[in-house]
Amino acid sequence: MDEQNINNTGDINKPAENPAPAIAENGNAVTAPPAPVKTVGVRFKRAGRIYYFDPAGLELDVNDWIVVETTRGLEVARVVIAPKQVLSSELETPLKPVIRKAEKKEVQHSEETEAKEKEALVECAKIVTRIGLPMKLLSAEYSLDGGHITFFFSSAERVDFRELVRELAGRFKVRVELRQVGARDEAKICGGFGRCGRQLCCASFLSEFVPISIKMAKEQDLPLNPMKISGVCGRLLCCLAYEHDFYHDMKAKMPRDGQTVTTPMGFARVVGSNPLKETVVVELETQVTVELPITDVKVVNRPMPINRPEPINPQEIKEPKENIVPPEDKGKSPN
């Protein structure tokens, strides 16, 4: 604020009446830049998706427990991203405000409801078995006020669970919601260990699933055996995306297999590459294979003749005459 504005403090809080839009030199109206908005990122589960809310002027730090309003009612969430300012144009919808900081008893109540959720899951499983629905129950979640419960399940087909919802509502006397999830979400909920021996990425730190394609495995020169590049969920491994950008960028800089290159040892043909080491494997004119850094090779636009020995035809091999036994002498023992 400049000196003139500091001295004229009498008009600071006076609202402007019909402010005229700013006019550029070409005569067109200049639109105001998007205003910054303060947001806070929270999670409801350990490796759950991050949701953004309006901190509503509260002083929040990472790992603080807060109470927010969701479609399932009031819920307790943990702050994972401290309040920061972002442009309003980056937000898809208006943010809901944080209700308040969670009290200690509310955090304890949220932990105590886990036993209650297990009991509800057992009761729901009994009803599912009696009705005969083709579904696999995964977990149950109560809202903070206990007036809403959500059951998560997986199924290979579409399930008509209207009768199940009616029985559950009559049994628990609360609002009941059922959500069908996919194979990856099922692994995220159930947890487990991968072929690497570590806890599943989706259950430990991955907040969102990114699209995985078989092209990622090809660019990393991995075996295209589904048993080796698939996770416990039966889908392609999420870790295929971790190094994909690096392999994609490095392979764009490296010569392709079969190209002719020049090296400090002469012309050669590329027969392999190692993006992690930033090296290429080449075959020299002397049929010697060496591994060189990519800075030592340069692609040339001409084929390289490699003199290979002609294959030997077994039919052209003739035994020495002294080793040939006449037909009439076969079977006779030498003296």
Residues in the chain: 335
Q: Tell me: pLDDT of 73 over 90.
A: no
Per the structure, how many domains does the chain have?
3
The predicted structure's pLDDT at residue 136: 92
The predicted structure's pLDDT at residue 238: 93
**326 located within any domain:** no
**Domain residue limits at 278:** 254-299
The predicted structure's pLDDT at residue 5: 39
- Within the chain, how many helices (H) and strands (E) appear? 7, 13
**280 located within any domain:** yes
CA angle 73/186/118 to nearest 5° reads: 55
Q: Tell me: pLDDT of 153 over 90.
A: yes
Q: Domain holding 144: CATH number?
A: 3.30.300
Q: Tokens for 111, please give them.
A: 């932990």
**266 located within any domain:** yes
- Domain identity same for 122 and 78: no
The predicted structure's pLDDT at residue 230: 93
The predicted structure's pLDDT at residue 213: 92
The predicted structure's pLDDT at residue 115: 81
Mean pLDDT of all residues belonging to the chain? 79
- Domain identity same for 56 and 98: yes
What distance, in Å, lies between the first and last C-alpha atoms of the chain?
122
In terms of pLDDT, which residue wins out, 137 or 56? 137
Cα separation, 236 vs 53, whole angstroms: 33
The predicted structure's pLDDT at residue 31: 56
User: Which ranges of 195-234 does DSSP label H, i.e. alpha helix?
Assistant: 201-204, 214-219
Lowest model confidence (mean pLDDT) among 63-67, 153-157, 242-246, 313-317: 313-317
The predicted structure's pLDDT at residue 8: 37
Q: Tokens for 231, please give them.
A: 């996770």
What is the rounded average pLDDT of the residues 53-57?
86
In the three-class reduction of DSSP (H, G, I as helix; E, B as strand; rest coil), residue 268 is classed as: strand
**143 located within any domain:** yes
**46 located within any domain:** yes
The predicted structure's pLDDT at residue 32: 54
77-132, pLDDT tens digit by residue? Answer: 888 888 876 655 556 677 888 988 888 888 887 777 888 888 899 999 999 999 99
171-202, pLDDT tens digit by residue? Answer: 988 899 999 999 999 999 888 999 889 999 99
Lowest model confidence (mean pLDDT) among 67-71, 214-218, 313-317: 313-317
Looking at the chain, which runs of residues are DSSP E strands?
A: 36-43, 51-53, 65-70, 73-87, 100-101, 136-142, 148-154, 175-180, 260-263, 266-274, 279-284, 289-293, 298-299
Question: Of 164, 181, 198, which one is at a domain's C-terminal end?
Answer: 181
Q: Ranked by mean pLDDT, which of 146-155, 302-311, 316-325 comes out on top?
A: 146-155
What is the rounded average pLDDT of the residues 39-45?
85
Question: Of 136, 163, 181, which one is at a domain's C-terminal end?
Answer: 181
The predicted structure's pLDDT at residue 148: 87
**189 located within any domain:** no
Cα separation, 70 vs 160, whole angstroms: 26
Cα separation, 295 vs 262, whole angstroms: 11
The predicted structure's pLDDT at residue 316: 54
Closest by CA position to 91, among listed 43, 47, 54: 54
7-24, pLDDT tens digit by residue? Answer: 333 343 344 444 455 555
